[in-house]
Amino acid sequence: MALTNQLGEVIRAARREQSISARALADRLGISAGTMSAIENGHASLSVDRLLRISELLSIDLSQLLATASAGRAGDAAQENGADPSSADRSRDWRTFDALAADPVITAAVKCFVERGYHGSSMRAIADAAGISVPGVYHHYASKQELLVRILDLTMDDLEWRLVAARAGASGPRGRLAALVEALALYHARRPQLAFIGASEMRSIEEPERTRIARRRTEVQHMIDREIADAISAGEASSTLPLAPGRAIVTACTSLPQWFDGAGRTSAEEIAAEYARLALAMVHAD
């Protein structure tokens, strides 16, 4: 990932940690919300003067800001070269699901979007669910759209590191395929609310965020497709239509929130392991 992308991610993370909305930071910088979004998504270069101003507004030393972004870039390069995930991810268990570090407004928005849908949820309903005033919500988030985008980014952030860690801990394309499918299924069984919103509300996201998030979701599909292709090339699997089982596998995993009951007789871990076995069987790799 380019340094510009990493800088954007570091700026976004620092802004959210301080509960500053993108629009509020943009206003302080004297730029449009669209330009702020482009900076955070790595689509706009940063001048030294603007970078200095951002570091001042977020109370981050400029050298620290650049060092954090450079470290993230180095970690991405290591992953692209087949290295293990970062030491931070290596110390985390992708099968363990602790409560997400989400603020009360995000938590309330998730609840409302699941129960009423995005279009059926008003900012007042979200404020009531969060136990704060409507102006209090707008102090942190400029719009309901920003809340939805934040929820989907939170979902993808949580899913992606688990997939990378699962793949890194497996050997051979067949093993990596099984690990990826298990991780994907387990996520959708253990985070059903976030997964449900991701499946049902992509149509509600406006551009350019819709294209950006869709690209992240497509990369998950490509991770599965690549392992199937590698397994076939290595003689560990076979399929006359290699893309078809990949689509079927991902669709089966993402549909889990529609029917899986975590309080039922079958655990999320058991269903995820079974999905991994079924995935191998689909490509004759079991």
Instruction: Give the CATH number of the domain where residue 71 resides.
Output: 1.10.260.40
The answer on 157 and 41 residing in a single domain is no
The residue from 61, 83, 105 where one domain ends is 83
Which pLDDT score, from 0 to 100, does residue 63 have? 61
Contact 13, 64 (CB under 8 A): no
**Helices and strands in the chain: count of H runs, count of E runs:** 15, 0
Which pLDDT score, from 0 to 100, does residue 48 have? 66
The answer on 259 and 156 residing in a single domain is yes
Q: What is the pLDDT of residues 127-166, one digit of tens each?
A: 999 999 999 999 889 999 999 999 999 999 999 999 999 9
The answer to the question of residue 134 being in a domain is no
Question: What residues contact residue 135 under an 8 Å CB cut-off, 6+ apart?
Answer: none
Q: How far apart are CA 19 and CA 115, in angstroms?
A: 25
Sign of torsion over alpha carbons 156, 162, 163, 164: positive
The answer on 155 and 74 residing in a single domain is no
The answer to the question of residue 128 being in a domain is no
The answer to the question of residue 98 being in a domain is no
Q: What is the pLDDT of residues 239-256, one digit of tens each?
A: 998 789 999 999 999 999
The answer to the question of residue 130 being in a domain is no
The answer to the question of residue 56 being in a domain is yes
The answer on 169 and 250 residing in a single domain is yes
How many domains does the chain divide into? 2
pTM of the model: 0.70
The answer on 156 and 277 residing in a single domain is yes
Domain span at residue 57 reads 3-83
Question: What residues contact residue 236 under an 8 Å CB cut-off, 6+ apart?
Answer: 172, 173, 174, 285
